[in-house]
Amino acid sequence: QVQLVESGGGLVQPGGSLKLSCIVSGFTLDDFAIGWFRLAPGKEPEGVSCISSGRINYADSVKGRFTISRDIAKNTVYLQMNSLKTEDTAVYHCATDSRVGHEECPSDAVGGVGMDFWGKGTLVTVSS
């Protein structure tokens, strides 16, 4: 019943911007942490950012460039990505952790192994 659907990916030049959306269903957004993660060939999966009722975190690689936000009424989490770099190219997934005791994001961005519901992802390609 829990579903997450990402959108907003595409092709953008270095220095450009994109805004990703993650629409969630089957649960109340305010009760769970939602994270953005990215997967790219040859790289370890990376936790990009997470938002919950009491905490936001960002990976060091995106601090100052990406902004995570949520609209509870719309059941949507956003990731505004500015000053994009070629190394940001990846499939971006949103995910949530439904386990009791994991309703808040951790202090630091992590890889998301414990997340149990994932969207199918949206491809972001940063290239000139």
pLDDT tens per residue across span 31-52: 899 999 999 999 999 999 999 9
Compute the average pLDDT of residues 42-67.
95
**In Å, what is the CA distance from 111 to each residue of 18, 50, 72, 75, 114?**
22, 11, 24, 23, 8
Q: Residues 77-109, buried b or exposed e (16+ Cβ, 10 A)?
A: bbbebeebeeebbbbbbbbbbbeeebbebbeeb
Q: What pLDDT score was predicted for residue 99?
A: 85
Q: Which residues contact 73 (CB under 8 A, 6 or more apart)?
A: none
Q: What pLDDT score was predicted for residue 27?
A: 86
**Angle subtended at Cα 53 by Cα 37 and Cα 47, rounded to the nearest 5 degrees:** 15
The answer to whether residue 113 scores a pLDDT higher than 80 is no
pLDDT tens per residue across span 88-111: 999 999 999 888 888 899 998 887
